[in-house]
Chains A and B, each alone.
Chain A
Amino acid sequence: MIFEELINHIKSNIGEDFIEGLDEQCSPKAVVVSAEKLLRLMGFLHADKECYFDSLSCITGLDNGVEKASMEVIYNLYSIPYNHHLTVKVNLGRAKPEIDSVTSVWKAADWHEREAYDLLGIHFEGHPDLRRILLPADWEGHPLRKDYKHQEYYRGIKVEY
């Protein structure tokens, strides 16, 4: 299905107001959805016979900086049998970034969400095991935030090199 067909299909099946906006500049083209409705939309996209997005390629967390005070989570979905693709974007507040985990839909989300939590401090509600994955458990802060300042010492080792 091409993008327009997909949008119409989603709207006619789970409601007009489900999609907040479209981003056609993005490649693959994207839909913007609110954090509360994400899990229902993802469940639909995964299970629906005509969408059938069986593969979640990538989850990207993104910090827009202190001024814009927002964060984003971006999901790249692909359907192997139909060979169509879609990007799903969610905007979050920067003060308390929280979003539903999609691990119940795709197991692939497990480590990607852990990575986003580790590097950006986005909390995924309902994730089975939300620990840091790349950094040590007692590291302070989330490096990919735009206002990140690394700690001076880590267990007595100077961090600045």
Chain B
Amino acid sequence: MANEVQYIFDQKNLSKSEPQKYREEDLRREEMIINIGPQHPSTHGVLRLEVVASGEEVVEVIPHLGYLHRCFEKHAESLPFNQTLPFVDRMDYLAAMNSEHAFAMGVERMMGIEDKIPKRVEYIRVVVAELNRLASHFVALGSYGMDIGAVTAFFWMVRDREHILRLLEWASGARMLYNYIWVGGLFYDLPIGFEERCKEFVKYLKPKLKEFEQVVMENKIFVDRTANVGVLPLDLAINYGISGPMLRGSGLKYDLRRADGYSVYPELDFEVPVGKGEVGTTGDCWDRTWVRVCECYESIRIIEQSLERLTGDLKRTRDFDPREMVPKKIRPKAQDLYVRAENPKGETGFFFRADGRSDIPFRCKARGASFTNLSIINELAKGSLIADLIAIFGSIDIVLGEVDR
């Protein structure tokens, strides 16, 4: 086997490996095709953009996906529900806890044990999910700064994200792909001292966020690059199924944590920030970024309140077992179910079909927030400059693991 040739040279392979939607003959006068990616830092992963440009102006953007496609759905059709959870981590790998939470919630709803999950478990889930939301927003903000030339922001954000990853590593044992939230419970209770350390961290974080605001959001260069660029009107956003900070950036107060009120979010006090067009037009790149910054503050508020409960009336006891409700056999009744939850990037949904005879789903479809959000790129970038295309693309905040699944 070792000497077997894996790849045979064939002249035709070269032409096949350049799948363009447009050929040279299709272009009008003065138009050209510019290829961005799949190995380009500003595409945030392995995404290829075929850009039809007329001089500096973008005529059309055609994204080519699939470089990171692992067919999550096919894997899910051959594995029991609880063993699919690690695969869910690998979809949105910057916010694994949030996706796990959505998936576990869906299976619990099918099993009919959603209301029986202990309060402490739910609050721990919210804490780790919000910590992960912070981490995901930090990557979004930091790398967005870097996309348009502010390197300091990236260093600061990654520095603070590292604290979060270490906290989560302490709880779960892994830096990014946790498998911490299980169907019916948790892998383990929080380690002793976690709540206190987390409180310290939150106290440390607030002034750092303020600092980020002053250095990036109020920066004249940043404002010039993002205000009035890539304006997304609200009706178009809704029609395209856009969700998360992108939708709220266009001015709609719509957050699934509030609209659906899942988990313990109805018990918590937090605001839903929206874009108001403070420096430009409502729905521009600056607004989307601003919504993310504001959401970081709201996540901190949620974490503080949850920690208050976790050290107060829900504090750890000797006989607390986070796996108490974890079912021995996950075999839901035959049914279809669509569950959705608010990920840092938008609405993450799972469609399940259980056949009632096995613990393997008959069909498990994942609706990635990044996938749907990315589909609007052509609409946003049409008619803008190529430099603005990078700014627009960065403000969408995608993760390729979730786009390609």
What is the interface of chain A, defined by CB distance below 8 A to chain B? 23, 25-28, 30, 54-58, 60-62, 74, 76, 80, 83, 87, 106-108, 110-112, 119, 131, 133-138, 143-144, 155-158
Chain A minimum-CB-distance residue to B347: A57
Complex CA gap A57/B239 in Å reads 10
Chain A minimum-CB-distance residue to B242: A108
Contacts of A137 in B (CB 8 A): 19
Which are the 5 A-B pairs with shortest beta-carbon distances?
A: A108-B241, A156-B8, A26-B336, A58-B367, A134-B66
A155, B66: Cβ atoms under 8 Å? no
Residue of A56, A87, A111, A158 contacting most chain B CB atoms (<10 Å): A111
| Least Cβ–Cβ distance between A81 and chain B, in angstroms | 10
B372, A111: Cβ atoms under 8 Å? yes
Complex CA gap A145/B41 in Å reads 35
What is the interface of chain B, defined by CB distance below 8 A to chain A? 6-8, 10, 13, 16-17, 19, 21, 65-66, 69, 71, 73-74, 77, 109, 236, 238-241, 252, 254, 259, 334-338, 340, 347, 349, 351, 353, 363, 365, 367, 371-372, 375-376, 379, 404-405
Known: A60-B351, A106-B239, A106-B241. A27 touches B8 (CB 8 A): no
Known: A134-B65, A134-B69. A58 touches B338 (CB 8 A): yes
A25, B335: Cβ atoms under 8 Å? yes
A76, B7: Cβ atoms under 8 Å? no
Complex CA gap A87/B13 in Å reads 43
A30, B239: Cβ atoms under 8 Å? no
Complex CA gap A30/B353 in Å reads 13
Q: Which of A61, A83, A111, A156 contacts B10 (CB 8 A)?
A: A156
Chain A minimum-CB-distance residue to B333: A25
Instruction: Give the number of A-B contacts (CB < 8 Å).
Output: 105
Known: A62-B353, A80-B252. A133 touches B71 (CB 8 A): no
B351, A74: Cβ atoms under 8 Å? yes
Chain B minimum-CB-distance residue to A58: B367
Complex CA gap A112/B351 in Å reads 13
Chain A minimum-CB-distance residue to B379: A107
B367, A156: Cβ atoms under 8 Å? no
Contacts of A55 in B (CB 8 A): 238, 241
B240, A107: Cβ atoms under 8 Å? yes
Contacts of A57 in B (CB 8 A): 241, 338, 340, 347, 349, 367
| Least Cβ–Cβ distance between A159 and chain B, in angstroms | 11
B338, A76: Cβ atoms under 8 Å? yes
Contacts of A131 in B (CB 8 A): 21
Contacts of B109 in A (CB 8 A): 27
Chain A minimum-CB-distance residue to B353: A62
A87, B338: Cβ atoms under 8 Å? yes
| Least Cβ–Cβ distance between A129 and chain B, in angstroms | 8
